[in-house]
Amino acid sequence: MDQPIGVIDSGVGGLTVASELIRQLPKEQLIYLGDTLRCPYGPRPKQEVVEYTWEMVDFLLNKNIKMLVVACNTATAYTLDELRANLSIPVIGVIQPGARAAIKMTNNRRIGVIGTEGTINSKAYPLALQSINSNIVVNDLACPKLAPMVEEGNLTGSEAYDIVYQSLKPLKDKNHIDTLILGCTHYPLVKDLIQEVIGKHVHVISSGEETAREISTILSFNKKLYNGTRIPKHQFFTTGRLHVFESIANKWLQQPLGFVKNINLSEKSFNK
């Protein structure tokens, strides 16, 4: 089916999921929308996150997408059930795939989760993990400084390391986890720093690979995979600073973006 897959995120973090989608489903076209102007979503009230998420969804629905990927943990926690109940297309979040990947990796059944305040307060990960295995011990920690750091393009160097170290110190000092879920799609952009701080003995889990695998399965089951020969032309939209978005996206995707545009979601004038 020659329709694009829509991917939404509060900023650039969802590019980690988009990158994995491009790798696993090279024939599919993506339309990515990052609400970088209003990022991060984590500290925002639930109703505000719901409102912003629906604005992004409405924009992508006007692009005739065949599937919606909510590549933001906070938006997934707050809106996934509502989106699935109201949309006629498949809707995929990143929490369940991340939880399944972590359970596959853990040996001592002690799993850490780091995320935004919204994601951690929602308890979405403990619920997802313990619904699969009630013996899992979950240690979750809000890291409010990490997503803004990534949005600014601060991905390496001593300043970034110090922020990661101070953010993870309570988790590192407190418990003997053997697996850590990056419960925000921004965090894989600094995965190497996180691994260095938390220790090589800890499996660090990004949900992108597992999410892409689930998307492939669902599209195949619904007979919506594209099987033609055209070369995919991805589209990228951002509500914030274009040059910052392009810089991070080019670095992460390791290929030219092609079509990239700044938009204003509050205008409600979405052109097809």
Sequence-separated (6 or more) residues with CB below 8 Å from residue 225: 1, 25, 27, 28, 216, 219
Nearest to 188 by CA among 105, 115, 97, 102: 115
Distance of CA 60 to the CA centre of its chain: 17
- Tens of pLDDT, residue by residue over 100-153, are 999 999 999 999 999 999 999 999 999 999 999 999 999 999 999 999 999 888
9 is in an annotated binding site: yes
Give 263's Cβ-side CA count (13 Å radius).
23
- Predicted confidence (pLDDT) per residue in 69-101, tens digit: 999 999 999 999 999 999 999 999 999 999 999
Report the alpha-carbon distance of residue 206 to residue 132 in Å, rounded. Answer: 18
Element (H, E) at 23: helix 15-24
What is the reported pTM?
0.89
Distance CA 127, CA 122 (A): 9
Specify the pLDDT at position 165. Answer: 96
What per-residue confidence (pLDDT) applies to 268?
Answer: 56
Q: Which CATH class is domain 5-93+209-267?
A: alpha beta
Q: Indicate the average pLDDT of the chain.
A: 92
Residue at 165: amino acid letter: Y
Domain coordinates of the chain in residue numbers?
5-93+209-267, 95-207
User: Which strand (E) or helix (H) includes residue 95?
Assistant: helix 95-105
Residue numbers annotated as active site: 72, 184
Q: Is 41 annotated as a binding residue?
A: yes
Question: How big, in percent rounded to 5, are the helix, strand and coil portions of the chain?
Answer: 50, 15, 35
Alpha helices of 133-190 — where are they, by DSSP H?
146-151, 157-174
- Spell out the CATH class of 95-207: alpha beta
79 annotated as a binding-site residue: no
